[in-house]
Amino acid sequence: MKNSLKINCFTTISIILTLLFVSCKTNSQTSFKSFENKKNLLISDNLKWSERMALSIMKRHPESYMIDDRTVAKWDYVHAVVLNSIEELYKKTKDKKYYNYVKSYADILIDENGDISKTYTVETYNIDLITPGSILFDLYETTQDKRYLVAMQTLRKQIEEQPRTPSGGFWHKKIYPNQMWLDGLFMGEPFYAQYTATFENGKKLDDIAKQFELIQLHATDKKTGLLYHAWDESKQMPWANKQTGTSPNFWSRSIGWYAMALVDVLDYFPKNHPKQKELVGYLNNVANALVKFQDKSGLWYQVTDKGGKAGNYLESSGSSMFTYALAKGANKGYLPKKFKTIAIKAFDGLTTQLIQVEPNGEINITQACAVAGLGGNPYRDGSYGYYINERKKDNDPKATGPFILAALELDR
């Protein structure tokens, strides 16, 4: 009888402990099952555009690793672009669901020792993979969880070892020797700037400024003031101009990456830093160039300077990036106040021309170029025809994230 009682008690306790474990595990995995279970949840049009977009993303992707329609968690820049914007939204709203959504991505990809190598390989020296580190600063400051610090240190080590052109510019990837892409300025420099400002007393700010100096010097078109997508210092790539090393066309999203990189790294350059005014000057140069090519709708075309050419189209990711950079630049005092008005016109163009609203209030952003690059296999030649014929994708993260940032800067 006693043995039977012991067995029953043991069984009961085991069941209770199992249920508690499952419950805790379920709760710790995500705070967003509520979104998964509320597919018909209405997103009110009384909310600001920033929250409407964030909630739409979270409905489509209840787990943050699912952003960009992923089925497996991966350390990737596209997630960072969206999660950085949601992190900024959390700072403004203090709504914990946004914080939890960001944190869940870090927690699924960083193990108990701070290791991110499950889906990250340093040996590729892909500068895109630095970007997710930007979401870790606030998480570390809030939690003091050393896993986040270790992960950031891993990325900082990659920057230290990243191959460079003879002039000192970071290669975009190991497979793209001696090439600097505008994309890479955004992928690497904001994290690098925040890291050196936070942990190194800003000792590497000159190196960060140098990356912009090289691009400004070698990738800027003197006639238009726009910047070419990439620069090959060796001038060996088939797409590279044999005299200048630049790629042949202006791609709006690449210029958008560059403009966002400038306004974001400037957060970490003190006004008395010798290079601060130089960077502000670069931002003014690109802002003034962009205004010349803004469509009457407020938006910009996929190939920036060829708005009237057959096949070109008003593109949402580049337009969202420009809107954010111009609005933040004006808000911070880097740009004249008129650029705030220009940004408002652009944002109105996005909401009236490229945003679709579902019956349940979910919003979609359309006309986003899914991807574009140079070289590789199959080979991408950077021609006009190449850029306009790359596939488009609704709700691409390169559009949704910058849209939220633009909305926040404009309080929309």
Rounded Cα distance between 252 and 369, Å, is 10
Residue bearing tokens 């209770």: 16
Closest by alpha carbon to 182, among 280, 318, 288?
318
Residue bearing tokens 């050196």: 196
Kindly report the backbone phi and psi dihedral angles of residue 15, in degrees, each rounded to the nearest multiple of 5, phi listed first: -65, -45
Q: Between the CA atoms of 6, 7, 9 and 10, what dihedral angle is there, to the nearest 10 degrees?
A: 110
**In angstroms, what is the C-alpha Rg of the chain?**
23
Rounded Cα distance between 399 and 396, Å, is 5
Residue bearing tokens 């993303």: 57
Q: Of 68, 183, 264, 396, which one is the catalytic site residue?
A: 183
Closest by alpha carbon to 256, among 213, 224, 226?
226
Rounded Cα distance between 375 and 171, Å, is 14
Based on the residue annotation, tell me whether 183 is a catalytic residue of this protein. yes
Rounded Cα distance between 392 and 368, Å, is 5
Q: Catalytic residue numbers?
A: 183
